[in-house]
Amino acid sequence: MKPLNVAVLGCGSVGSQVVRLLTEQAGDLAARVGAPVQLVGVAVRRIDAPRKIEVPAGLLTTDAAGLVARDDVDVVVEVIGGIEPARSLILAALEGGASVVTANKALLAEDGPTLFEAAEKAGRDLYYEAAVAGAIPILRPLRESLAGDRVTRVLGIVNGTTNFILDKMDSTGAGFEEALEEAQNLGYAEADPTADVEGFDAAAKAAILASLAFHTRVRAADVHREGITAVTAADVAGARAMGSVVKLLAICERTDTPDGEVVSVRVHPAMIPASHPLASVREAYNAVFVEAEAAGELMFYGRGAGGTPTASAVLGDLVTLARNRVNHGRGPVESAHADLPVAAMGQVPTRYHISLDVADRPGVLAQVAAVFAQHDVSIETVRQQQHVATRDEAGRDAAAGRDGGGRGRASLVVVTHTAPDAALAATVEDLAGLDSVEAVASVMRVEGD
Amino acid sequence: MKPLNVAVLGCGSVGSQVVRLLTEQAGDLAARVGAPVQLVGVAVRRIDAPRKIEVPAGLLTTDAAGLVARDDVDVVVEVIGGIEPARSLILAALEGGASVVTANKALLAEDGPTLFEAAEKAGRDLYYEAAVAGAIPILRPLRESLAGDRVTRVLGIVNGTTNFILDKMDSTGAGFEEALEEAQNLGYAEADPTADVEGFDAAAKAAILASLAFHTRVRAADVHREGITAVTAADVAGARAMGSVVKLLAICERTDTPDGEVVSVRVHPAMIPASHPLASVREAYNAVFVEAEAAGELMFYGRGAGGTPTASAVLGDLVTLARNRVNHGRGPVESAHADLPVAAMGQVPTRYHISLDVADRPGVLAQVAAVFAQHDVSIETVRQQQHVATRDEAGRDAAAGRDGGGRGRASLVVVTHTAPDAALAATVEDLAGLDSVEAVASVMRVEGD
């Protein structure tokens, strides 16, 4: 049997594991593919850089463009990341007749359609299971297993760094900065954690998940994005008091509106009940919860990052593509037939959990309730309690010449019914302007009911 | 585009939902397949039987053999169940050139290789995602997503009825019979619950999972099977005291032995720690926990039964097969290249949790420990405690003319390290024969560490 020739672009934490597995499991891979799978080149930035594995010197090259242009390459694995040169290399590989496996979520979320069209034109496969939730098989199930079903919602914990931080905040009561520092010390967060903690990474994955779930092109720019930097210990404690936990969720929803179906895609911290399967996803684990009309509720759980788990997903795609080459077949292509409009965040129906520090006097609740009514937001529950003053508040009272050492206040916790997000946001703004409201202590969306 | 013609065999709880979804989602299915998907016949036992959906009268037939023999049928969906006539119909369909989707776990576990060989000979696809864990995509991930990885263990809760019963026993303290009755009343268990509670259903699924995970042919007869009818309220309470829960697990393992790698496949009740992701699988839900060398730990969770969820899995396969027909392609075939030997249960390394009622006098622990030593079984923990006598024991004491009203006994809970199952079983037998052991109160394997 003619061997299948594989070129790997990038030899970092994922690429080096791909190379290792390709070598170590050569026998098994050949049996599963139906032909030997042969590594013919590994493109790197520097030949002499230190790496975790030994790559036979003859295979290393700094000429990635030359490697993908070789006419004996059947499958190209792109694990460089970033937009360029990854995009040009993938396009060149497809044009040259190779199939492509990529783990590049940023590129797919930014410019997936260009890649899909190039694959279509070339009649080649483009697979990217490793781009979302590392080793967890989630794209193949969405694209194939649920192809006969109608997905209504995807809720994902798709960023391990932020889940680790929020989990720490929940289990230790720490604030964001402290938990971030611990994550950095343990290698769960990078020195510059922006892509993770500001939700950029999760937003790219949300765009990919939504595109597959709803057969609609969704790009990163369509995703409403809020990170976790503003999540406080008080937010987490407030969630706990409600029997909930705070998670950074990637949420893809299909909703009916008077103008027809729309999809919404957003990434933000949210409270979910402790009984929800996603609530027990601890540390840096990932999980994706899918609701489909016929299948009901499904959850996929596992390691969402790391060189070896991600390499497992790359290899799974590689075997499928190689098998398709051997059989002259082709996997499912991009399916954007539904082409649903993406709703603006303001229109998306959400629920808020709002915690207010208010003056402890009659009439306050009526005043607060009136603000909700003005915005047509209906209230599900209100919990009012004597406020235990913090030292800061007592200090402020003292500084302002008030007595009471922070007493004379109450805390009011309101959970709303579903309303358009814009109406909820406007409600919070108006509440903050009320005389009787000293502070909006915490605002958090509620999901997963 | 020439339409893809689909014949459905069986119109029970799954078949009727397949027919409904095929009709309701015709537009979406056509877009995803690349050609219209057309239902051309539904084989039933009685034309005039009451059914949940309306099937156009012209499509119903009692001549299943005639339906699969039609030369315009591209895909046959078999949801009759049982060995015959399902096997003959599937073989005839493949020989006639149709691709086949089946949900028939019993047939696959009994005689899968015959079906796979027929598919291979015909050059057609045979898919069966719905055969294991209903709507949960688990076979496709094992077969494709993990094709480049090395699966070391699969732990599955793959029978909803028994999970419901054990969950009830755990949450209410009920005994097996009482919990079974509740399951029957709620429709989670059949009037004759044998296939579920004796583990036959789970054993068939275990054989299918092991075959895919280990690229080795495993049949139902190779699976060591114990049901849950002997699980007592005391077993469940004992597990709880250890911070564990009792689950009926389908366990597929790859183990190294001096003679090389072997696989073991078994279904039995076992204690797993409450912190294990499978422990929180409640009610009639299913979940499959997979350990692979590169991917690490994965879990797949969802509804394991029911007409609609199972139909979702059937439709997913149907779309893949139909797409393969349109593209003249073919999906991955049976992969039995590893061909590993299946170990006998006696050789399988397991751990036991043994609870003994013993005489409360010096020297008993030494006597008990000696029995473990004789069988080369090493003990991880022993917990000894004053025994609170049950009314039965007090009665027996009185009847035997002993005083003490059941006092003078202790309970001894031993958790072993890993040892061959046969050595553990022999240990238990010898313990039961000791003078100082009044009763072996509970024996349960321990998994999931």
Question: Which residues from chain B sit within 8 angstroms of residue A146, using beta carbons?
Answer: 137, 312, 316
Name the strand (E) or helix (H) holding A444: strand A437-446
Question: Which residues from chain A sit within 8 angstroms of residue B324, using beta carbons?
Answer: 329
A394 to chain B, minimum CA–CA distance in Å? Answer: 42
Residue type, A186: L
Catalytic (active site) residue B205: yes
Helical pair B307-326 and B13-24, crossing angle rounded to 10 deg: 50
Task: Report pLDDT for B332.
Answer: 86
Mean pLDDT, residues A48-75: 92
Task: Report pLDDT for A51.
Answer: 87
pLDDT digits (tens, 9 = 90+) for A213-253: 999 999 999 999 999 999 999 999 999 999 999 999 999 99
B251 to chain A, minimum CA–CA distance in Å? Answer: 19
The DSSP annotation for B47-93 comes to TTS--SS---GGGEES-HHHHHH-TT--EEEE---SSTTHHHHHHHH
Catalytic pick among B105, B168, B205, B247 = B205
pLDDT tier at A409 (50, 70, 90 boundaries)?
confident
* B294 and chain A in contact, CB less than 8 A: yes
Pick left, alpha or beta for residue B76 (phi over 0 → left; psi -120 to 50 → alpha; otherwise beta).
Answer: beta
pLDDT tier at A199 (50, 70, 90 boundaries)?
very high
Matching residue, tokens 């991955």: B332
pLDDT tier at B184 (50, 70, 90 boundaries)?
very high
Residue type, B131: A
Distance in angstroms (rounded) separating the CA atoms of residues A418 and B437: 62
Residues linked to residue A255 through DSSP beta bridges, in sequence order: A262
Question: Which residues from chain B sit within 8 angstroms of residue A335, using beta carbons?
Answer: 31-32
- B294 and A309 in contact by Cβ < 8 A? yes
> B256 Cβ partners below 8 Å, 6+ apart?
none
pLDDT over 60 at A443, yes or no: yes
Q: Is the dihedral of CA B22, B23, B28, B29 positive or negative?
A: positive
- Probe site for chain A from B13, B24, B127, B149 (most A CB atoms < 10 A): B149
Task: Report pLDDT for A257.
Answer: 87
* Displacement of CA A193 from its chain's centroid (Å): 15
pLDDT digits (tens, 9 = 90+) for B300-327: 999 998 999 999 999 999 999 999 998 8
Distance in angstroms (rounded) separating the CA atoms of residues B69 and B93: 7
Pick left, alpha or beta for residue B172 (phi over 0 → left; psi -120 to 50 → alpha; otherwise beta).
Answer: alpha
For all residues of chain A together, what is the average pLDDT? 93
pLDDT digits (tens, 9 = 90+) for B391-412: 666 666 667 665 555 567 899 9
* B144 and chain A in contact, CB less than 8 A: yes
Mean pLDDT, residues A78-99: 97
Q: Is A23 exposed, middle or buried (0-12, 13-18, 19+ CB in 10 A)?
A: middle
Ordered by where they begin, the domains of chain A are: 4-134+308-326 (3.40.50.720), 139-304 (3.30.360.10), 346-446 (3.30.70.260)
Q: Which of A398, A399, A408 is nearest to A438 (CA)?
A: A408
* A314 and chain B in contact, CB less than 8 A: yes
Mean pLDDT, residues A73-101: 97
Matching residue, tokens 């915005």: A375
Task: Report pLDDT for A154.
Answer: 98
Q: Which residues of A56-79 are buried (b: 16+ CB within 10 A; e: fewer)?
A: eeebbeeebeebbeeeebbbbbbb
Residue of B nearest to A311 (CA): B294
* Displacement of CA B9 from its chain's centroid (Å): 24
The conformation of residue B366, written as its DSSP 8-state character, comes to H
* Displacement of CA B2 from its chain's centroid (Å): 40
Question: Which residues from chain A sit within 8 angstroms of residue B330, using beta carbons?
Answer: 327, 329
A331 to chain B, minimum CA–CA distance in Å? Answer: 8
> Are B206 and B219 spatial neighbours (Cβ–Cβ below 8 Å)?
no
Mean pLDDT, residues A359-379: 94
Distance in angstroms (rounded) separating the CA atoms of residues B152 and B339: 15
Which comes out higher in pLDDT, residue A406 or A205? A205
> Are B124 and B151 spatial neighbours (Cβ–Cβ below 8 Å)?
no
> Are B188 and B194 spatial neighbours (Cβ–Cβ below 8 Å)?
no
- A312 and B148 in contact by Cβ < 8 A? yes
Mean pLDDT lowest for which of A131-135, A161-165, A351-355, B361-365? Answer: B361-365
Question: Which residues from chain A sit within 8 angstroms of residue B141, using beta carbons?
Answer: 137, 140-141
pLDDT digits (tens, 9 = 90+) for B102-115: 999 999 999 999 99
* A202 and chain B in contact, CB less than 8 A: no
pLDDT digits (tens, 9 = 90+) for B413-447: 999 999 999 999 999 999 999 999 999 999 999 99
Task: Report pLDDT for B51.
Answer: 87
pLDDT over 60 at B191, yes or no: yes
- Probe site for chain A from B129, B139, B312 (most A CB atoms < 10 A): B312
- ipTM, 2 decimals? 0.91
pLDDT over 70 at B237, yes or no: yes
pLDDT digits (tens, 9 = 90+) for B332-358: 888 899 999 999 999 999 999 999 999
Residue of B nearest to A333 (CA): B32
> Are B56 and B81 spatial neighbours (Cβ–Cβ below 8 Å)?
no
Catalytic pick among A2, A121, A168, A205 = A205
> Are A309 and A319 spatial neighbours (Cβ–Cβ below 8 Å)?
no
The conformation of residue B141, written as its DSSP 8-state character, comes to I
- A316 and B148 in contact by Cβ < 8 A? yes
- Closest partner residue to B298 (CB to CB) among A17, A277, A301 is A301
Pick left, alpha or beta for residue B405 (phi over 0 → left; psi -120 to 50 → alpha; otherwise beta).
Answer: left
The conformation of residue A3, written as its DSSP 8-state character, comes to P
- Closest partner residue to A320 (CB to CB) among B135, B147, B302 is B147
The DSSP annotation for B279-332 comes to GG--TTEEEEEEEETTTEEEEEEEE--SHHHHHHHHHHHHHHHHHHHHTT----
pLDDT tier at B389 (50, 70, 90 boundaries)?
low
Name the strand (E) or helix (H) holding B409: strand B409-416
* A316 and chain B in contact, CB less than 8 A: yes
B37 to chain A, minimum CA–CA distance in Å? Answer: 11
> B387 Cβ partners below 8 Å, 6+ apart?
B357, B360, B406, B409, B410, B411
pLDDT digits (tens, 9 = 90+) for A284-342: 999 999 999 999 999 999 999 899 999 999 999 999 999 999 888 888 888 899 999 99
Residue of B nearest to A123 (CA): B327
Task: Report pLDDT for B70.
Answer: 95
- A21 and B311 in contact by Cβ < 8 A? no
Mean pLDDT, residues A189-213: 97
What is the β-pairing status of strands B37-43 and B60-61? parallel
Mean pLDDT, residues A175-196: 96
Distance in angstroms (rounded) separating the CA atoms of residues A421 and A375: 11
> Are A407 and A337 spatial neighbours (Cβ–Cβ below 8 Å)?
no
pLDDT tier at A402 (50, 70, 90 boundaries)?
low
> Are A424 and A416 spatial neighbours (Cβ–Cβ below 8 Å)?
yes
Residue of B nearest to A134 (CA): B295
Please report the residues numbered 147 through 176 in chain A whose beta carbons come closer than 8 angstroms to any beta carbon of chain B.
147-150
Furthest-apart CA atoms within chain B: distance in Å:
89
Question: Which residues from chain A sit within 8 angstroms of residue B312, using beta carbons?
Answer: 146, 148-149, 292, 294-295
Distance in angstroms (rounded) separating the CA atoms of residues A449 and A276: 8
Mean pLDDT, residues B88-94: 98
Q: Which of A398, A367, A404 is nearest to A384 (CA)?
A: A367
B395-B396-B397 Cα angle (round to 5): 90
- A294 and B311 in contact by Cβ < 8 A? yes
* A242 and chain B in contact, CB less than 8 A: no
Task: Report pLDDT for B403.
Answer: 54
* R_g of chain B computed on alpha carbons: 25
* Displacement of CA B211 from its chain's centroid (Å): 13
